Amino acid sequence: MATPLETWVEQQAALTQPDRIYWCDGSEDEARKLIEIGMKEEKIGEHNIFYELCQKTYPNSYLHRSHPTDVARTEHLTYVCHPDQETAGPNNNWMDPKEAKNLLTQLSRGCMRGRTMYVLPYMMGHPDSPYARACIQLTDVSYVAVSMRIMTRMGKKVIEKIGRSDDFVKGIHSVGDFDPSRRFIMHFPDEHLVWSIGSGYGGNALLGKKCFSLRIASWLGFQQGWLAEHMVIIGIEDPQGQTTYVTAAMPSACGKTNLAMLESTLPGYRVWTLGDDIAWLNVGPDGRLYAINPEIGLFGVAPGTSMKTNPNMMLTLKASHFYPTLFTNTGLDADTNQPWWEGMGVPAPKNLINWQGKPHQPSGNGLAAHPNARFTVSIYNSPMLSKDFDQPKGVPISAIILGGRRSNLIPLVKEAFNWQHGVFIGTRTGSETTAAAIHQVGVLRRDPMAMLPFCGYNMGDYFRHWLDMGKRLTHPPKIFSVNWFRLDGQNGFLWPGFGDNIRVLKWIVDRVHHRTEAKETPLGLVPFVKDLELEGLNLPAENLEKLFEVHPEEWEPELQDIKEFLIRFGKRMPEEIWHEYHALIHRLSNPSSEHFA
Ligand code: GTP
Ligand code: SPV
Ligand code: MN
């Protein structure tokens, strides 16, 4: 008799009508075969799915060019279909689940005709982890199948694990005809189902990533008492040889991958990578917060990545490994067959082909690489992978860092007074928008905990859940906020960033281990200048001052904007958060009290 999994696959095939069904086993040979198919048979418009890059300098690496309209996440076409709109909250687009399924069924009828349906069995999390989940995704494009193999633990063992159970996470994906008016990314949280049509882009199409591991998993976490977060996980080794584990939430394209791969400029300090995008956080038996990264790949922004800004990433991209590496929408040096992007730190090659496959016009204002051009690479290629990466129970977290991209107001680093204040800082975190999603770039939007586009339920309830989690932790991590992006008034950054961010991490580690004091300001606890390790930096004293400046009068419009944002959640917004809001106003209007001297 057919298993529930087989029956489900047959039902989807009856609807989408692929020419063939191919069950992937996750092997190396198979990945090679899929890449061959993508290089020779499958196409998007006039382009093949994959182009082989120079195998000497970029072993096992391939270039992919997307459909020109399919270059980033499309938040306006992303829906969370709870039975009622209130549960989805003002932070999500909502459609009645029945209506949503009718629409998707219509759009999916025959959508895989002439194509292969790939059945991808994969785990999010290490198979031995109590927190791992067995998942199946269907897709009709080799690019997604190969990407999923890089990003997740894929293999036929998952099918054995599922066995005759119908408890597996389901993903249905088809690129459809790439028409943005027929593109939808729909989530059915209670059914553990994601259904996505019309896009092949990472966050829209690799359904184990944002769709399951954040939107649906955040809902599971709310029901089951854990958190699914848009966070980096790193270990920071200090000169004493002690490693302190921290997580960091930052909105899309605000520095997570860079932080995860940080090359320390401070002697004796080292960063170890565990994850660059997603963390699942559970309360351990010892009352501490434990983090696992459910993924095994890095899907990072290429432009700006260079030997200067992120040498470890450049080494990771060139490392030869068992897993292939994909470059999506970068430029191509036609003479050497190597990828190229703006901010790579090497001059533009003479015969440069742009991300759409056309000769690059240096006189025009177009870019050779799309600003959201990405690489997909195995985390096992990283020279700084933590020895605890595959640890099934995860690593104990001592600090949570919240970041955003703010050109003013927000200091380089501050520590929250306590967990509740930290959660409030999370709720009001704002960031200037980037190219990682399709919308106007550079506009301030509130992005609590970097989860606005990824929280699969009402964010008012989410803040309540964060407050409750704090109560269950006997040893809660300290909460910090950082901002690498404050400007000097001439559009230059006040802080050098990248490898020098270790100087901020050092202060955080020192605070965690009670090795240093902090100064109270209305916004939180900041470093005394003497406690920041700045040797070798040549940072003008004036910059340092500006990085920590608090001007209460500049906060008026900010406070107004925060209020308008928090009000949207109505009664679901916990009172404790409003209490913190009013306490902040009070501190800002009494900045000279002896408290902040
Ligand atoms: P997603 O993959 O979209 O979630 O992005 P991410 O948060 O991993 O961002 P990533 O590390 O890829 O960085 C995005 C952009 O921010 C790149 O252009 C980086 O060069 C830039 N960036 C990262 N860290 C720093 C920093 O410390 N200072 C400055 N000025 N820019 C940074
Ligand atoms: C992000 O936008 O936060 C990313 C890329 O990490 S995506 O996988 O598309 O979400
Ligand atoms: Mn991300």
pLDDT digits (tens, 9 = 90+) for 20-61: 999 999 999 999 999 999 999 998 888 899 999 999 999 999
CA 255 to ligand 1 centroid distance, Å = 3
CA 309 to ligand 1 centroid distance, Å = 10
Q: If pLDDT is split at 50, 70 and 90, which confidence band does 591 have?
A: low
The residue whose CA has the least distance to atom 2 of ligand 2 is 252
What local confidence, expressed as pLDDT, does residue 443 receive? 86
Q: Is the pLDDT of residue 322 over 90?
A: no
What local confidence, expressed as pLDDT, does residue 593 receive? 53
* Domain layout of the chain by residue ranges: 4-45+70-225, 229-295+388-596, 298-381
434 lines ligand 1 (CB under 6 A): no
Q: How far apart are CA 156 and CA 246, in angstroms?
A: 33
Give backbone dihedrals phi and psi of 73, rounded to 5 degrees, phi first.
-65, 145
CA 203 to ligand 2 centroid distance, Å = 5
282-303 per-position pLDDT tens digit? 999 999 999 999 999 999 999 9
295 lines ligand 1 (CB under 6 A): no
Give backbone dihedrals phi and psi of 10, rounded to 5 degrees, phi first.
-60, -40
Average pLDDT of span 167-171: 97
* AA identity, residue 396: P
424 lines ligand 1 (CB under 6 A): no
Dihedral of the CA atoms 290, 232, 196, 92 (nearest 10)?
80
Q: How far apart are CA 500 and CA 262, in angstroms?
A: 9
The sign of the CA dihedral 219, 374, 204, 297 is negative
Q: If pLDDT is split at 50, 70 and 90, which confidence band does 592 have?
A: low
Give backbone dihedrals phi and psi of 584, rounded to 5 degrees, phi first.
-65, -45
What local confidence, expressed as pLDDT, does residue 46 receive? 84
Q: How far apart are CA 94 and CA 80, in angstroms?
A: 5
Mutate to test the pocket of ligand 2, among 147, 277, 375, 451 (most ligand atoms within 8 A of CB): 277
203 lines ligand 1 (CB under 6 A): no
What local confidence, expressed as pLDDT, does residue 150 receive? 97
493 lines ligand 1 (CB under 6 A): yes
Catalytic site includes residue 24 = no
Q: Average pLDDT, whole number, for the chain?
A: 96
497 lines ligand 1 (CB under 6 A): yes
What are residue 23's DSSP bridge partners? 119
CA 281 to ligand 3 centroid distance, Å = 17
The residue whose CA has the least distance to atom 26 of ligand 1 is 497
256 lines ligand 1 (CB under 6 A): yes
Q: How far apart are CA 502 and CA 269, in angstroms?
A: 8
Report which of 238, 297, 233 is spatially closest to residue 260, judged by C-alpha positions: 233
564-583 per-position pLDDT tens digit? 999 999 999 999 999 999 99
What local confidence, expressed as pLDDT, does residue 433 receive? 83
Q: How far apart are CA 101 and CA 90, in angstroms?
A: 21
Domain spanning 4-45+70-225 has what CATH number?
Answer: 3.40.449.10
Which residues in 244-280 are b (16+ Cβ under 10 Å) and which e? bbbbbbbbbbbbbbbbbbbbbbbeebbbbbbbbbbbb
Write out the two tokens for 67. Answer: 């459909």
212-243 per-position pLDDT tens digit? 999 999 999 999 999 999 999 999 999 999 99
What local confidence, expressed as pLDDT, does residue 594 receive? 47
Question: Does CATH place domain 229-295+388-596 in 3.90.1150.10?
Answer: no
517-567 per-position pLDDT tens digit? 999 999 999 999 999 999 999 999 999 999 999 988 899 999 999 999 999
Check if the beta carbon of residue 584 is closer than 8 Å to that of residue 590: no
Radius of gyration (C-alpha) of the chain in whole angstroms: 24
Q: Is the pLDDT of residue 6 over 80?
A: yes
The residue whose CA has the least distance to atom 4 of ligand 1 is 252
What local confidence, expressed as pLDDT, does residue 303 receive? 97
Check if the beta carbon of residue 451 is closer than 8 Å to that of residue 80: no
246-285 per-position pLDDT tens digit? 999 999 989 999 999 999 999 999 999 999 999 999 999 9
Specify the pTM. Answer: 0.97
* Catalytic residue from among 24, 211, 254, 455: 254
Q: How many CB atoms lie within 10 A of CB 520?
A: 16
436 lines ligand 2 (CB under 6 A): yes
CA 78 to ligand 2 centroid distance, Å = 13
Average pLDDT of span 103-117: 97
Higher pLDDT, 439 or 209: 209
Mutate to test the pocket of ligand 2, among 209, 372, 374 (most ligand atoms within 8 A of CB): 209
CA 232 to ligand 1 centroid distance, Å = 12
CATH architecture of 298-381: Beta Complex (2.170)
Atom of ligand 1 nearest to the CA of 500: 27
